[in-house]
Amino acid sequence: MTRRLPSLLFAALLAIAATGLAPAPSSAASGAKTDSTNTARFVNVGPYMINFLQDEKPVGGRLALTIEAKDLAARTALTQNSQLVDAMVLPLAIELYSAGRPSQQSIRTFKLKLIDALNRQFGDVVTDVYIRSLM
């Protein structure tokens, strides 16, 4: 009995190792995209705190954005140049809040201007800009 125990233990370990080393089914082979590839295209920027005086009245707001890049390389370019992205977003954000609370039309204009500025700077890498929070 004691002689069989090590051989059974060895067989059990071998079975566990064999199932652990078996290749997982590839999602690329099935043609389905995984969540990690879908979320890999998004870059969160902000929040930006906007505070200034206009006509002796304080104007303030908070803006957080998510930028959708075309692919992983575009996302990497945006992430590595985050200070440049911030330098492009802030003037447009101040312009957004310059007339008080942003309207739907001014938000659309802001998004289009930001997409245009980012695409000019980085070479057509941005597909859309989403506003995560606007206060």
pLDDT tens column, 54-70: 888 888 889 899 999 99
Question: Is 3 contained in some domain?
Answer: no
Distance (Å, rounded) from C-alpha 70 to C-alpha 25?
Answer: 27
pTM, full prediction: 0.66
The count of domains in the chain is: 1
Cis peptide before 47 (omega within 30 of 0): yes
pLDDT tens column, 105-120: 999 999 999 999 999 9
Distances 13 to 4, 8, 17, 100, 111 between C-alpha atoms, Å: 14, 9, 6, 68, 58
Question: Is 65 contained in some domain?
Answer: yes
Question: Is 76 contained in some domain?
Answer: yes
The domain of 121 spans 35-134
pLDDT tens column, 1-30: 555 555 655 555 455 554 444 444 444 444
Q: Are 88 and 59 in contact (CB under 8 A)?
A: no
